[in-house]
């Protein structure tokens, strides 16, 4: 019997996850004799078998197996904790973070003031510190720590020096002659005075810049970065 395309994609997906068939059989509880029939080409992969694989492996893209659309494995997020508090933070079991379109919101302050608007979707990452939202990163000023297209999850902070953790990474919205400029930078003390902050890039090709706190329209502490990777 010649394998149909669904069976071929099913076996391709199994092989992309498991180095040995026995590991798949232990996890899925599929009978060895049944799977051997599929592996040898004497039987086609059944829907129950495909569902058994997807039930034990969240990364399995069943749409690919059934239709050929996409890739065998879903994109999986690589989560990096950016902010490391001295005390232990309470984590959110469900880990739902709202992803916003900051460009549609016009600026960061508008986004903060209208949390029910400009929503792109939700990100579900269990057991992470509580965050107020997330946005996409643009530019290379924090490269390679952050790449354009990465997502940063944040917590809003008041515009007061006493609320700033100097040396940490922030989303900062600055008014420059009437135009708002949104950036992700480390915030450090400025030599220009107590009412100034210095914004520093991770990428050394970008020079540090000093701004008066009065020019800052909104700030948020970056707590996590999220990068979407295709699992191999």
Strands (E), the chain: 75-81, 91-92, 96-100, 119-124, 128-129, 133-136, 151-157, 169-176, 179-189, 196-200, 209-212, 216-230
Among 73, 89, 105, give the residue marking a domain's end: 73
Distances from the Cα of 127 to the Cα of 15, 90, 134, angstroms? 30, 9, 16
Among 73, 105, 123, give the residue marking a domain's end: 73
Q: Are residues 194 and 180 part of one domain?
A: yes
Q: Bridge-partner residues for 23, per DSSP?
A: none
**Contacts made by residues 88-95, CB under 8 angstroms, sequence distance 24+:** 89/129, 89/130, 90/129, 90/130, 91/127, 91/128, 91/129, 91/130, 92/126, 92/127, 92/128, 92/129, 92/130, 93/126, 93/127, 94/124, 94/126, 95/123, 95/124, 95/125, 95/126, 95/127, 95/128
Q: Are residues 195 and 154 part of one domain?
A: yes
The percent of residues above 70 in pLDDT, for the chain, comes to 96
Question: pLDDT at position 76, please?
Answer: 65
Query: Is the peptide bond between 144 and the residue preceding it cis, with omega within 30 degrees of 0?
Result: yes
Q: Are residues 144 and 123 part of one domain?
A: yes
Q: Are residues 83 and 24 part of one domain?
A: no
Question: pLDDT at position 84, please?
Answer: 85
Question: pLDDT at position 79, please?
Answer: 85
Question: pLDDT at position 6, please?
Answer: 95
Q: Are residues 210 and 225 part of one domain?
A: yes
Q: Are residues 102 and 24 part of one domain?
A: no
User: What pLDDT, in 10s, does the model give residues 50-108?
Assistant: 999 998 887 888 988 999 988 888 766 788 889 988 777 777 666 789 999 988 887 89
| CATH code of residue 117 | 2.10.109.10
User: Which stretches of the chain drop beneath a pLDDT of 50?
Assistant: 230-232
Q: Are residues 177 and 111 part of one domain?
A: yes
Q: Are residues 99 and 201 part of one domain?
A: yes
Q: Are residues 100 and 52 part of one domain?
A: no
Domains contained in the chain, number? 2
Question: pLDDT at position 93, please?
Answer: 65
Q: Are residues 62 and 150 part of one domain?
A: no
Rounded mean pLDDT of the chain?
89
Rounded distance, CA 7 to CA 34, Å? 13
Q: Which domain holds residue 185?
A: 77-230
**Quick check: pTM over 0.75?**
no
What count of other Cβ atoms lies within 10 Å of the Cβ of residue 195? 10
Question: pLDDT at position 187, please?
Answer: 97
Q: Are residues 56 and 9 part of one domain?
A: yes
Among 73, 90, 122, give the residue marking a domain's end: 73
Give the CB-side neighbour count of residue 153, counting CA atoms within 13 A.
25
Q: Are residues 100 and 12 part of one domain?
A: no
């Amino acid at each position: 019997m010649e394998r149909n395309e669904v069976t071929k994609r099913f076996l391709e997906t199994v092989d992309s996850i498991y180095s040995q068939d026995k590991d798949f059989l232990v996890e899925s509880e599929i009978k060895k004799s049944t799977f051997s029939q599929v592996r040898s080409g004497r039987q086609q992969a059944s829907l129950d078998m495909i569902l058994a694989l997807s039930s034990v492996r969240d990364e399995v893209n069943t749409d690919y197996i059934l239709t050929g659309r996409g890739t065998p494995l879903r994109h999986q997020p690589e989560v990096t904790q950016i902010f490391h508090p001295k005390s232990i933070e309470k984590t959110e079991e469900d880990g739902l973070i709202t992803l916003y379109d900051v460009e549609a919101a016009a600026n960061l302050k508008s986004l903060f003031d209208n949390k029910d608007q400009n929503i792109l979707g939700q990100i579900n990452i269990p057991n992470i510190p509580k965050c107020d939202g997330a946005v996409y990163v643009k530019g290379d000023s924090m490269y390679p720590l952050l790449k354009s297209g990465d997502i940063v999850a944040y917590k809003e902070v008041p515009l007061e020096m006493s609320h700033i953790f100097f040396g940490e990474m922030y989303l900062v919205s600055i008014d420059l002659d009437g135009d708002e400029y949104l950036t992700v930078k480390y915030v450090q003390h400025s030599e220009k005075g107590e009412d100034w902050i210095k914004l520093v890039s991770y990428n050394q090709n970008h020079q540090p810049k000093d701004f008066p706190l009065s020019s800052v329209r909104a700030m948020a502490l970056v707590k996590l970065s999220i990068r979407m990777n295709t699992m191999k």
